[in-house]
């Protein structure tokens, strides 16, 4: 289990991760763009979103730091562009923390299977902190 920070940027995540990778002597990370995911015909992906970073991560001095671009039209405020991310191989740990943190908060995405995880969800807790939950598949992405 680990709890990691997830940073969001307004379209310049590729530049950000290249900078941090160089600063911490890390290889260029694998990058997953929004356009790399299977598309839902009911929700067409805007052309300007296709090359934006959906997810990437760096191992920096023993910690995992994850990054993403904000989706077009979503608000971005420098200084508030982070979330906490619980990554665990224990499905019960994820479900328990999710359900406890949603009390008095707001579910942003119910726990569910996605293209990148068998179990993923988001909740903003009663203190305004956004939490992401991800079942660790062992694939390292």
Each residue of 29-81: pLDDT tens digit? Answer: 999 999 998 888 888 889 999 999 999 999 887 889 999 999 888 888 877 78
Please compute Rg for the chain using Cα positions: 15
This prediction's pTM: 0.72
CB 37 within 8 A of CB 31: no
Reported as a pLDDT band with limits 50, 70 and 90, residue 139 is low
Measured between its terminal Cα atoms, the distance across the chain in Å is 15
| pLDDT, mean of residues 95-121 | 92
Confidence at residue 1, expressed as pLDDT on a 0 to 100 scale: 67
Ordered by where they begin, the domains of the chain are: 8-72 (no CATH), 83-141 (3.30.720.110)
Task: Give the contacts of 40 (CB within 8 A, at least 6 positions apart).
Answer: none
């Amino acid at each position: 289990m680990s709890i990691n920070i997830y940073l969001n940027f307004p379209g310049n995540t590729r530049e950000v991760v290249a900078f941090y990778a160089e600063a911490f002597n890390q290889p260029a990370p694998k990058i997953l763009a929004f356009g790399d995911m299977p598309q839902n015909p009911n929700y067409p992906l805007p052309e300007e979103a296709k090359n934006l970073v959906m997810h990437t991560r760096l191992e920096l001095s023993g910690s995992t730091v994850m990054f993403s671009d904000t989706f077009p039209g979503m608000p971005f405020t420098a200084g508030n562009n982070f979330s906490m991310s619980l990554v665990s191989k224990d499905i019960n740990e994820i479900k328990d923390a999710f359900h406890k943190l949603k009390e008095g908060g707001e579910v942003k995405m119910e726990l569910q299977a996605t293209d990148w995880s068998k179990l993923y969800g988001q909740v903003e807790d009663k203190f305004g902190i956004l939490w992401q939950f991800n079942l660790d598949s062992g694939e390292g992405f």
